[in-house]
A and B are shown apart, each in its own frame.
Chain A
Amino acid sequence: MPHKTFFAFILPSLIAMVLFIALPIVSVIVQSFHVEHGRVLVQVESCQPFGGCTTETRVDTAAMAELRAEAPMGQFNGFGTYLNRGHLAVNEIGAILSSNTGFGDVVSRIYNLPFYKALSFTLVFCFVVTPLAMALGFAIALAVNALPKPTKGPVIFFSLLPMIITPLIGSLILYWMIQPNGIVGATLQNLFDNPNLSLRQSPMLTWLSLLFYGVWTNAPFSFVVFYAGLQTVPGDTLESAMIDGASRWERIRYVIIPHLAPLATFVALVQLMDNFRVFEPIVGFSAEANATSLSWMIFNDLSGDAQLFGSAGATSVLTIIGVIILLTPVLIRTWREFNHKVV
């Protein structure tokens, strides 16, 4: 296809992506180097007929508005926002490392810094939910494949629901059930005979319920992909494995799993990307006291009364760097494959 025709076809799509994905990334980077204007203070002397005069310090709103209109992004701050306590917290980490009472102390104090708290939950969510959801999805795929034909359709229908559901709505539905006065929460209280048991009370239980939600909503995707993969397992190979006396387990281990391995890489990649942006369940479960994520931090900065664009920008840039690190192995592999194909 000639270059001109190619670009004529793809131009609308490219313009949309450049304007609303590439430029915002630039805008985020620029923002992250700025910080909100300091408050302009004025001394006001107010005199009362009998009380004498007092001087008060007030925020000069007119001057602030003018300053905002002139430079809406705020003042230049360099890497200041990146290094402050709300983000990489370089000074705090230095202090923790230089005076501490052992490894546990270091870990717990670093965990109490907001950025590292969010980062640790995001990473745990990514790397716990993804493999568990894939394992569950694979198990469901194997089981559904063994079902008689007429039952497969309805089972697939119900299996799709947790994946297709709006994340915020799905997490609300689960959250209402696990509340102490919801059906699951109340049953757990009875089961453990502890009327104060609440999945929100401890960070541990909050994390567990969020991870449960993650597996619940991610498993169907692995299931569908693996189930489709199972339909393409060559019958001959399976049969010859049986003739060679391979047990059921050995057939799964040595025929089916190797056959599905390329699909598994794909599923892992997609789910890691999606889980890295974990955000809605934290809002739905109102879990922000015990679990925060990088996306939630950005949302929180932006949704307050004073929108902290600089802070949100810095977290965004750090998140994007995280995404790129996560993607690097895939990008390198795709690049090699492409070169291989061309040669």
Chain B
Amino acid sequence: MSDASVSQKRPLGLNVLIYAFIALWVVLAAFPFFWTVWGSFKVEPDFFSRESWWNAIFGTYTKAQNDGNAFTGNGYYGAWVTKEFWRAVGNTAIVTVSVTVISLTLGTLGGYALARSGQRYAFWILIIALVFRAMPHITLVSGYLLPFFQLNIWGVLPTSIIVLVAINQPFTLWMLHSFFLSIPKDLDESAMVDGCSRFEAFRRVIIPVMWPGVVTTGLFSFLLAYNDFAVTSMLLSSDNQTMVPKISSFLGSVQEQGNVMFAVAAVVSATVPLFILVLFFQRQIVSGLTAGAVKG
């Protein structure tokens, strides 16, 4: 497709159309983020301006309330210090890292077994995993609550971590299964001919070559844990909340007190790690999305 001859013959009108369309899409995709980041350093009457949105750009009210300075960090101070958003950030770090590590550990073992088995039941496990993958998370949550209350394990981080790991397993299994299929069978089988047990072969031969697939899968496990709202908002007590449920519980209280900017600052704070993630792992994310697609 990337024929130079094809692109050179493109008429001018079509080129204009393509560039205009791409420009429109990039603005649509990126502008909301930049606007919110910019606005998070303003005061509320500027960012939510009834008069004119130029106020948000020039910071009219921010200057008036802030000795002529057009930027203010009050929203961030309010969110992180007054509302103790740092606690939620810490909880999110614990949850996402644990979920990613545990999911990958279980997923590599299981995915490897599924890729090498070839038995009928391996196929069935994959199909059931596909059905599980389609379950809306909130339907499972309504099944957890009552047993967790009874067992008295509701509200703490480990419970949410385990639940997120389990919810994540179907996807992890599918992804790593198709990744291990792309590693030639001969590799571990020759190790076994040399006298390794299956597990030794896995440890000595497969583990050294599996990292690209594991990193890609890990990114998606991280995203699932990071982006989750249904599970963490229902299963964590208010002291243990992670960022996303914390922001949602912000909304109600903060709006009444006229502190919406706290929520805006918190939202921007929660967006930054994702930004960095895409910046550094763009290629892995793209290849991960496509790997799933090619396998179907």
Question: Residues of A with Cβ closer than 8 Å to B?
Answer: 1, 3, 5-10, 12-14, 16-17, 19-28, 31, 72-73, 139-140, 143-147, 153, 155-162, 164-169, 172-174, 176-177, 179-183, 186-187, 216, 220-221, 224-225, 228-231, 233, 235, 238-239, 242, 248, 262-263, 265-267, 270, 273, 276-277, 279-280, 283, 294-295, 298-299, 301-303, 307, 309, 312-313, 315-316, 319-320, 323-324, 326-327, 330-331, 334-335, 338, 342
Measured CA separation A6–B126 after assembly (Å): 14
Measured CA separation A187–B53 after assembly (Å): 8
Taking a contact as CB atoms under 8 Å apart, the answer to whether A327 and B134 are in contact is yes
Q: Could you say which residues of chain A place their CB within 8 Å of the CB of B131?
A: 323-324, 327, 331
Q: Could you say which residues of chain A place their CB within 8 Å of the CB of B35?
A: 177, 183
Contact partner of A166 (CB less than 8 A), chosen from B2, B6, B270, is: B270
Contact partner of B7 (CB less than 8 A), chosen from A146, A165, A335, is: A146
Q: Could you say which residues of chain B place their CB within 8 Å of the CB of A235?
A: 1, 3
Measured CA separation A326–B25 after assembly (Å): 31
Q: Could you say which residues of chain B place their CB within 8 Å of the CB of A307?
A: 145
Measured CA separation A91–B81 after assembly (Å): 54
* A-B contact list, 17 entries, CB within 8 Å: A17-B169, A21-B140, A140-B21, A156-B282, A157-B282, A158-B26, A162-B29, A172-B263, A173-B33, A228-B294, A239-B3, A295-B136, A302-B145, A319-B139, A327-B134, A331-B127, A331-B131
User: Shortest distance in angstroms between B199's beta carbon and chain A's nearest beta carbon?
Assistant: 8
Nearest-CB residue, chain A, relative to B202: A9
Nearest-CB residue, chain A, relative to B143: A24
* B97 contacts the other chain (CB 8 A): no
Taking a contact as CB atoms under 8 Å apart, the answer to whether B229 and A309 are in contact is no
* B117 contacts the other chain (CB 8 A): yes
Q: Could you say which residues of chain B place their CB within 8 Å of the CB of A158?
A: 26, 29-30
User: Shortest distance in angstroms between A268's beta carbon and chain B's nearest beta carbon?
Assistant: 11
Q: Could you say which residues of chain B place their CB within 8 Å of the CB of A221?
A: 289
Q: Could you say which residues of chain B place their CB within 8 Å of the CB of A283?
A: 229, 248
Measured CA separation A13–B114 after assembly (Å): 11
Contact partner of A173 (CB less than 8 A), chosen from B36, B150, B169, is: B36
* B66 contacts the other chain (CB 8 A): no
User: Shortest distance in angstroms between A265's beta carbon and chain B's nearest beta carbon?
Assistant: 8
Of A23, A176, A225, A239, chain B has the most CB atoms within 10 Å of the CB of A176
* Interface majority SS (helix, strand, loop, mixed), chain A: helix
What is the 8 Å Cβ interface bit string for chain B, positions 153-174, against chain A (1 contact, 0 not)? Answer: 0000000001101110110010
* B133 contacts the other chain (CB 8 A): yes
Q: Could you say which residues of chain A place their CB within 8 Å of the CB of B123?
A: 338
Contact partner of A20 (CB less than 8 A), chosen from B30, B162, B202, is: B162
Taking a contact as CB atoms under 8 Å apart, the answer to whether A177 and B134 are in contact is no
Taking a contact as CB atoms under 8 Å apart, the answer to whether B229 and A280 are in contact is yes
User: Shortest distance in angstroms between A317's beta carbon and chain B's nearest beta carbon?
Assistant: 8
Nearest-CB residue, chain A, relative to B219: A164
The stretch from B72-80, B105-113, B207-215 touching chain A is B105-113
Interface residues of B in 227-261 (CB under 8 A from A): 227, 229-230, 233-234, 244, 247-248, 251
The 4 closest A-B pairs by CB, nearest first: A24-B143, A20-B166, A277-B136, A9-B113
Nearest-CB residue, chain B, relative to A162: B29
Measured CA separation A139–B212 after assembly (Å): 30
Contact partner of A155 (CB less than 8 A), chosen from B22, B134, B292, is: B22
Taking a contact as CB atoms under 8 Å apart, the answer to whether A160 and B278 are in contact is yes
Measured CA separation A270–B120 after assembly (Å): 24
User: Shortest distance in angstroms between A186's beta carbon and chain B's nearest beta carbon?
Assistant: 6
Taking a contact as CB atoms under 8 Å apart, the answer to whether B282 and A160 are in contact is yes
User: Shortest distance in angstroms between B67's beta carbon and chain A's nearest beta carbon?
Assistant: 25
User: Shortest distance in angstroms between A208's beta carbon and chain B's nearest beta carbon?
Assistant: 15
Q: Could you say which residues of chain A place their CB within 8 Å of the CB of B150?
A: 72
Taking a contact as CB atoms under 8 Å apart, the answer to whether B198 and A5 are in contact is yes
Given A25-B143, A161-B30, A309-B142, also A166-B229 (CB < 8 A): yes
